[in-house]
Structure 1
């Protein structure tokens, strides 16, 4: 963080004037808090998947529409969010994202009052429009607010708090969910009403917190990253477009890697509870499965916090390659269906999956700065549509061939990301710099 503060000192801020070390540090704290917020809501959606499917009597493909609504919005919002950042700066993108985020949270109120799955999907869509705007702006902002050597370190550190949010979401749900009552069983309607009321309360609290955070950002001037400051001083943008960025092989391959990786990460979290319920054995309940998901998320967060310091000493790409290879092996153990052993392997895999998204993000934006970084970030956030399409695909496979085959399909995906880390991220890099 000291390198970030040093680089941010004496740079023009978004509102003009000079920044100070304390201002840069405060900016990092505020932006990092946003990583926590959208991490919480992201994994809350995953944790809601199984109980919503139960109480709304949905099949696996219909339940996967939660991911389609949430992550499909990323694809739609990524370009507009990038354009807002180019026109109004990173702060403009953050403020617009917080507004949409809060609006979506409050739409959950009528959705749960009416027990309308369609309206709830719309609420998740609006929330995700806000999350996409935050992701499009916060990721490159943290990545580029300092020297290039520390990019993977900075974004992984910020994304570690995204992982903290990942823990809190299902942990909250696990505490209030208890045993899910199946349709047709005594007390089903009462349990359904209580579940919807608890969900409504969670999102009311989230909405109120977001309004407060929005007010703070509205009056705070964010320091400008060095690359943006250079463009402001020269009066000229880099001139790079999405088309020219695609001519850099490592960038194009990184977009593909991010699409595959985020889809697998989200799909795994979405099906984990159902997998645990099937393979753990006696004594397993929906509430316990949700709590186990929070443990999985804890391992995910630990993976980021433990690995991030290593990135200051070792090549982040090589670390990513090793981690993705281990993830592929563990998911093959999951496919084998070895009872508790496979459930534990599923959870431990997320210790290594943890660093995938932010590290691929930083490797893909290597050597890209200023307005070009905003364009590249928009493309990377668009690739998050993989989190909508891949879970839907795996949901169909799960219904047709079983949950074990769905997890087997994940193995070659992790191996591709490992290949990108070891080799793909270096193709054309020298020419691209």
Structure 2
């Protein structure tokens, strides 16, 4: 997921005396996983307008692309964790890569059939593989080197999420989007044979990039298979921790607030980018290729830079205060986007990801604050599962768009950012059970 929260569980290597140099190549391999899942997430905003054309969909139907991805995360999160606990992180990574590759290669028969449901199945399979990769990558990065530099390594690896956010839309603009945009009336006026040729050509555009992605992922899986990776073992909890005496986790009202807020935040994050290309055409008559390039070069890059800036600012500003400021600015930006036209509206949306950059990890950490040893793991799992918001909010935007227009659909992320603002001002400090 874009947030990329680190695991709260501690791990150690089975052979702590190993030299850090021995971990360089494994670290590079594991870091590549951060790019691979960010790439898929940031190709989704390209697929939404593209498959809307190729499969002649409504905005609501096209939004199911994100739903297919985030439902997989919700359903497979716990099974992925159990698998790795039983068979190890290396086995989980290899399995995740192979599932990912299988889903990418399923785009070939999906394009041949032209069936939207087939594309959704392929995306669900890809996301199932990503769930395994995300479950493993954060803890693995922290042990591939000296303990005192674990945080530095994790932050470095997280940067490749930003690279994926930058590269994904650019790849989509270059190799998937054709630039041929026709109205429903123009499509209906085309001869049947010409219409079928157009739709088939649009559907076929996804074959080459997703085939290459599938092959690259298979090659990385092979490298993992033949690379000796250090064993990692979970550290035992403190002996004096007695989670059975801590009562129900839902006694912590600030955690419940964080789970709800994370649901809405992820929905906003996904929705803002998902419909940007459609928004740019409606609000500013911008061609799809130009909009896709801006999504990567401005929004994606802004998200990556925002993480560095936000991390720096938190040295001087309390996290909840910065979260409140960023949420307020995004509320203002989305209001501007909904009430203006042209470049002002488009650039207002492009500025939003910069201020989204710190939201997922900040909500995550504020929600876990004060839970105690016995509840931290479960609280972490519940916060991760709340990313199901990414499956719900885009269809809501699609429904609003089909009922009015795509500009009004941004009412949904506006409401979501309002929830984040409430959490930053009040929700994070709701009563904690003693």
- The 3-state SS of whatever aligns with 2:235 is helix
1:174-194 superposed Cα distances (whole Å, 9 cap, x missing partner): 113231242346665444333
How far, CA to CA, are the matches of 2:206 and 2:120 in structure 1? 13
User: Pairwise mapping of residues 109-128 of structure 1 onto structure 2 (< 5 A)?
Assistant: 109-128=108-127
Corresponding residue for 2:331? 328
Query: Is the CA contact 1:248–1:429 (under 8 Å) kept in the aligned structure 2?
Result: yes
The alpha-carbon deviation at position 96 of structure 1 amounts to 3.0
Q: 1:99 to 1:381 in 2, by over 3 A?
A: farther
**Larger deviation, residues 323-332 vs 286-295:** 286-295
User: Pairwise mapping of residues 380-395 of structure 1 onto structure 2 (< 5 A)?
Assistant: 380-395=383-398
Corresponding residue for 2:290? 288
The alpha-carbon deviation at position 341 of structure 1 amounts to 0.5
How far, CA to CA, are the matches of 1:369 and 1:126 in structure 2? 36
Corresponding residue for 1:179? 179
Query: Is the CA contact 1:101–1:131 (under 8 Å) kept in the aligned structure 2?
Result: yes
1:84-121 superposed Cα distances (whole Å, 9 cap, x missing partner): 24334444443332222122112112111222221111
How far, CA to CA, are the matches of 1:140 and 1:241 in structure 2? 28
How far, CA to CA, are the matches of 2:244 and 2:33 in structure 1? 28
How far, CA to CA, are the matches of 2:260 and 2:380 in structure 1? 14
User: Pairwise mapping of residues 312-327 of structure 1 onto structure 2 (< 5 A)?
Assistant: 314-327=317-330
Query: Is the CA contact 1:255–1:379 (under 8 Å) kept in the aligned structure 2?
Result: yes
TM-score (norm 2): 0.83
How far, CA to CA, are the matches of 1:367 and 1:106 in structure 2? 45
Corresponding residue for 2:342? 339
Q: 1:87 to 1:365 in 2, by over 3 A?
A: farther
User: Pairwise mapping of residues 20-419 of structure 1 onto structure 2 (< 5 A)?
Assistant: 20-22=19-21, 28-139=27-138, 158-176=157-175, 177-182=177-182, 183-184=187-188, 188-218=195-225, 219-222=227-230, 224=232, 228-231=234-237, 244-281=248-285, 284-294=286-296, 295-311=298-314, 314-366=317-369, 375-419=378-422
Structure 2: segments with no counterpart, 5+ residues? 1-5
TM-score (norm 1): 0.83
1:214-266 superposed Cα distances (whole Å, 9 cap, x missing partner): 233343435648xx3244x97x9986799944443333322222211111111
The alpha-carbon deviation at position 28 of structure 1 amounts to 4.9
RMSD between aligned residues = 3.6
How far, CA to CA, are the matches of 2:247 and 2:51 in structure 1? 41
**Larger deviation, residues 131-140 vs 261-270:** 131-140
- The 3-state SS of whatever aligns with 2:106 is helix
The alpha-carbon deviation at position 71 of structure 1 amounts to 1.2
1:128-180 superposed Cα distances (whole Å, 9 cap, x missing partner): 111122233334666899999x97x8766543321211221111111132312
